[in-house]
Structure formats: C-alpha cells, structure tokens
Amino acid sequence: MSSTDINKNKKRAVVICPGRGTYNKEELGYLKRLHSDKTELVEVIDHYRAGQGQTAISELDDMDKYSMRLHTAGENASALIYACAAADYQSIDRDEYDIVAVTGNSMGWYIALAVAGALKPAAAIELINTMGSMMTDGVIGGQMIYPVINDDWQQQDDIKKQVLAWLDEVNQLPDAEVHISIELGGYLVFGGNKAGLAALEQKLPVVQDRYPMNLFNHAAFHTPLLQGTSEKAKSLLAKSLFDKPQVPLIDGEGQIWQPYGADLDALYDYTLGTQVVAPYNFSKAVEVAIKEYAPDKLIILGPGATLGGAVAQCLIRHQWLGMQTKADFISQQKQEPFILSMGLEEQRKLVLP
C-alpha cells in the first residue's frame, strides 16, 4: 500500500490551541495525571523557568490546592497551558489523524507556533514565558467578555452593532479607552483601561446574570494599550528564535503561513507586533480552517474545554455541516462529533492511539 493510500484512510484534522484562562481549578494535576511520560517537554520548560527564578510548572501542577493568585498569574498560566497543550498535541494518534493545519486563540497563537515547529522547544518556552511575564510588575488595563448571540448560538448582528456603537460612545469620554480585543465565536472580548471598561460595563445590559464579565488577571491584550509591551518584546526576543513551520498556521487575521514558504521576518513582526496591539479574530481563523482545509475533525487541545462553545458558534455562523442552532450542534456531537476537545475525557479517547 502506498503512503498516499495510507493518508486517504486518515481523518483530516485542524488542531486548535487554547488561550489564557483554560487552566482552572478542575485542571489542577492535568500534566501529572495525563502526561507523566512527557518528561522531556516538561524538563525543557522547568529548566528555563529555574533560570528565571520561577516556580517549576511540574510543581505548580502538583500542588494540593488551586490558587487563583498563583495559577492565573501570566508568568505561570502561560507556561502551564503551553505545557498541557503541547503534551496533548504530542499525544494525538498520527495513524488516525493527518494534521492539515494549526491555529489558536490569543495566547494559543504562541502554542500554535510551537506545535507547528515554527518555534523549537527551547525557543517556544522563551517566547511564551517572556510574553507571559510581561505583566509581573502590574497588569496593563483589563479584559471583559460579552455575548452577541441568542440562546440558539446564532449571532445577532443588531446586538453587535449596538454594542459597537456604545464602544464608540465610551471612547469619546475623557480618559476612557476600550477596544475590541478578540472576536471569539459568539462573544466579543474587550480590552481597555479601567475607566473605559467601567464605562462600557455601565452601558451593556446584563445577560444570563453573568455578562458583561471581567476576566481576572487578564491585561488589555490585542489592543493599542500594549504598544509598549510589543516594543519590549522585540527588544528581548530575537528573530532567530523563529523557524519555518512544518504545518500550515492560521493566524488571528485568517492569514495562512505555509510550511517552508513563510517569511520569518514577517512572522516575527506579526507575532510580536501586529497581534499584540491589534484585535485577534479567532472567529476568522476558524472560518478559514473549515473553508480552506475542509477537515473531518477539529481537535481542541487541553487543558480545559472552554473553547468548544466559541468554535461551535463559528460553525453555526457558517451553517457548517448544516448546523444552524445550538441544538443542531449538540445533536451532531452526539451522533458523529466534529469537535474533539482533549480536555473532555470522552472526546479525548477518540484522539489518542
């Protein structure tokens, strides 16, 4: 049998890497529980962090109790999430799945670069840990999330239009600054300064008793407020950290970086420039993933499984596989799951050898 025939039997998969906020109380012990065999990956990360005077991720993961202050701090959360996600990526059954592209949400872009080979292990932890540690001396601004969908997970363009009008009004106020940070399926994530977020929160009607929701320990990522962070990152991180990706990468503008043909200067500038200070359109990345690569499955790396809903909302927006409502998606997942979240035990089993 030729290698082409073998490939035909494999399922085409696009892998999606998670962002900040996915290692929560339930995920404590994820590395030890599921990846005790990934010692090489963990040792590279812990060795780098020891040089920075930081707690080992193996130690953070192995703690008896989850600490919001400790585990959600950028310098710890980013390295922990990277380790869990990269270990999950290594665990995917390559006899079953042909990984045709990789993408990610927000910080998940750095993880995508790592798993796609654009950052070798030592370079990946240097970049991820450096970016995650940028807020050690104080978080710049904050983030807030708000839905623009109905209960059927269908996007409501009129609601979105109204929310954007309120956003413009807030930015007319003295000392207030707030921007779209992430387009996240049926949600908008805003990044701004304290005054801007507070003023926007006053305008947004409360939905589901929980939104608008401020995201704990999150800075105003993907907004102009992080211009200084971008400049600092470029002064600390060398272009030589980057390699040509071995798998196509879809970024937060829906642009595809092709293996071996990627312009590394441009990839560096996008990673430490554009996506730090401009909105991250995760919805666009998912749209490009399904329309350009027509995958059989979307595999979402752990830890956590919070990204599944946002991805499903993108599928519904484009009526992918005929899905038009939340009920359609749930039915599809029961019959023949299209999204496989490795943070969910039942779906994880379908990804492993």
Instruction: Tell me whether strands 187-192 and 142-147 are parallel, antiparallel or unpaired.
Output: antiparallel
Give the whole-angstrom CA distance, residue 106 versus residue 128: 12
The pLDDT-based confidence of 198 (bands split at 50, 70, 90) is very high
Q: Quick: pLDDT tens for 124-150.
A: 999 999 999 998 878 899 999 999 999
Q: What confidence score (pLDDT) does residue 7 get?
A: 61
Cα distance between residue 275 and residue 272, in whole Å? 7
Residue 260: its pLDDT value, please?
84
Q: Does CATH number 3.40.50.2000 belong to domain 3-137+226-349?
A: no
Mean pLDDT of 114-128: 98
Amino acid 137: pLDDT: 79
Predicted pLDDT at 350: 97
Whether the CB-CB separation of 332 and 321 falls below 8 Å is answered with: yes
Confidence check: pLDDT of 4 > 60: no
Q: What is the pLDDT of residue 335?
A: 95
pLDDT digits (tens, 9 = 90+) for 9-65: 899 999 999 999 899 999 999 999 999 999 999 999 999 999 999 999 999 999 999
Q: Which residue has the tokens 């829906």?
A: 254
142-215 folds as: Alpha-Beta Plaits (3.30.70)
Measured CA to CA, the distance from residue 315 to residue 323 in angstroms comes to 7
Distance, in Å, from the CA atom of 162 to the CA atom of 149, rounded to the nearest integer, reads: 13
Q: Looking at residues 146-163, what average pLDDT do you find?
A: 97
Average pLDDT over residues 256-270: 96
pLDDT value at residue 8: 66
Cα separations (Å) of 345 from 130, 309, 342?
A: 32, 17, 7
Report the pLDDT value the prediction gives residue 153, as an integer from 0 to 100: 98
Mean pLDDT, the chain, integer:
95
The mean per-residue pLDDT over the stretch 83-91 comes to 98
Domain map of the chain by residue range?
A: 3-137+226-349, 142-215
Per-residue model confidence (pLDDT) at position 323? 97
What's the burial of 118, exposed, middle or buried (CB within 10 Å: 0-12/13-18/19+)?
A: buried
User: How sure is the predictor about 204, in pLDDT bands with cuts at 50, 70 and 90?
Assistant: very high
pLDDT in the model for residue 3: 44
What local confidence, expressed as pLDDT, does residue 1 receive?
41
Q: Measuring CA to CA, which residue among 187, 200, 183, 179 is closest to residue 147?
A: 187
Please give the share of the chain, as a percent, with pLDDT higher than 90. 93
- What SS3 string covers the chain? CCHHHHHHHCEEEEEEECCCCCCCHHHCCHHHHHCCCCHHHHHHHHHHHHHCCCCCHHHHHCCCCCCHHHHCCHHHHHHHHHHHHHHHHHHCCCCCEEEEEEEECCCHHHHHHHHCCCECHHHHHHHHHHHHCCCCCCCCCEEEEEECECCCCCECHHHHHHHHHHHHHHCCCCCCCEEEEEEECCEEEEEECHHHHHHHHHHCCCECCCECEEECCCCCCCCHHHHHHHHHHHHHCCHHHECCCCCCEECCCCCEECCCCCCHHHHHHHHHHHHHHCCEEHHHHHHHHHHHHCCCEEEECCCCCCHHHHHHHHHHHCCHHHCCCHHHHHHHHHHCCCEEECCCHHHHHCCCC
pTM of the model: 0.96
Q: What is the pLDDT of residue 5?
A: 46
The whole-number pLDDT of residue 334 equals: 96
Q: Can you give the pLDDT at residue 135?
A: 86
